[in-house]
Amino acid sequence: AQSVTQPDIHITVSEGASLELRCNYSYGATPYLFWYVQSPGQGLQLLLKYFSGDTLVQGIKGFEAEFKRSQSSFNLRKPSVHWSDAAEYFCAVVLTGGGNKLTFGTGTQLKVEL
Amino acid sequence: NAGVTQTPKFQVLKTGQSMTLQCAQDMNHNSMYWYRQDPGMGLRLIYYSASEGTTDKGEVPNGYNVSRLNKREFSLRLESAAPSQTSVYFCASSEGPAGEQQYFGPGTRLTVT
C-alpha cells in the first residue's frame, strides 16, 4: 500500500542542538514532497517542498530537507533549534498524476528543552 | 487579505444532529479541500474540489457531503453526526495544479456527544 511514514512520534531536543525529523514514503514514482508545521491550536504552514532538481531544499525558519531517492526519504533538518520551533511537523506527498491531493504522515511532535 | 477562513471555530453536537462547516478563501484559488485531523493519524482528506463546479471524494468521505458554492466557498455538511466524527476539521485551498502549496484555515474543533 502507498504510504507516508514518520517513524518518530515524539522528539525532544535541547535549544541550540541540531534536529533531524525522518520521513519515508512508499510510492513507485517520485512524488511531490512537502513538510508542514502546525503550532498548537493553529492550522498548517508550509516549511518547504520538493518537486525536482536539487535534492537539498531550503525552506523558511532555517529548515532544510534532503530528498534521497535510493532511500525513499525526505528528512527535515535544522542546524540549531530555537524554543519557538516546538510544534508538530508533518511530511506530506502528492502523487504525480494524482491531482493535488495531499497524503500526510502521522506527524512528529517536537519538544524543545531550554 | 484573510487567506482561508473557517466558521465556526468550535461546535458541540449531539448524535444525529446536522451541521454545516463553512470555508471561504480570498486568494482566487481554483482548488479547495476538507481534511480531518485525529490524534496519531495525521490529516486525512475528506473531499476536495479541483475547480468550481466539481467535487470528488477523498480518503474518508463517508458521513459527509460538500458543496462548492462558488469559487470562494466550500462547505462541509454532516447530515447525521456520529461520535466517530469528533475531530478537528481543516479547510485548505490551492491554485490548483499538482504540487502547488495548499493554504490552511485555522480549523474547526467538533465534538459529537
Question: Residue A16 CB: number of other CB atoms within 10 A?
Answer: 12
Model confidence at A1, pLDDT cuts 50, 70, 90, reads: low
**What's the rounded Cα separation, in Å, for the pair A76 and A91?**
9
Task: Give the contacts of B92 (CB within 8 A, at least 6 positions apart).
Answer: A44, B4, B32, B33, B35, B102, B103, B104, B105
- For testing the chain A interface, which of B94, B104, B109 should be mutated: the one with the most A CBs within 10 Å? B104
Which residues on B lie below 8 Å from A100 (Cβ)?
31, 48, 50, 94, 96-100, 102
Which residues on A lie below 8 Å from B40 (Cβ)?
9, 106-107
The pLDDT mean for chain B works out to: 94
**What number is the average pLDDT over the span B66-88?**
97
The DSSP output letter for A72 is T
Which residues on B lie below 8 Å from A9 (Cβ)?
40
pLDDT in tens, A40-79: 888 899 999 998 888 999 999 999 999 999 999 999 999 9
B11, B20 in Cβ contact below 8 A?
Answer: no
CA distance B18 to chain A (A): 24
Model confidence at A97, pLDDT cuts 50, 70, 90, reads: low
Residue A103 has pLDDT above 70, yes or no: yes
Percent of chain A at pLDDT exceeding 70: 94
For residue B54, CA distances in Å to A100, B24, B33, B66 come to: 14, 16, 12, 10
**What number is the average pLDDT over the span B12-35?**
96
- For testing the chain B interface, which of A91, A102, A109 should be mutated: the one with the most B CBs within 10 Å? A102
Q: Per the structure block, which three cell numbers stand in for A34?
A: 512537502
- For chain B positions 21-80, those within 8 Å of chain A (CB to CB) are 31, 33, 40-45, 48, 50, 58-59
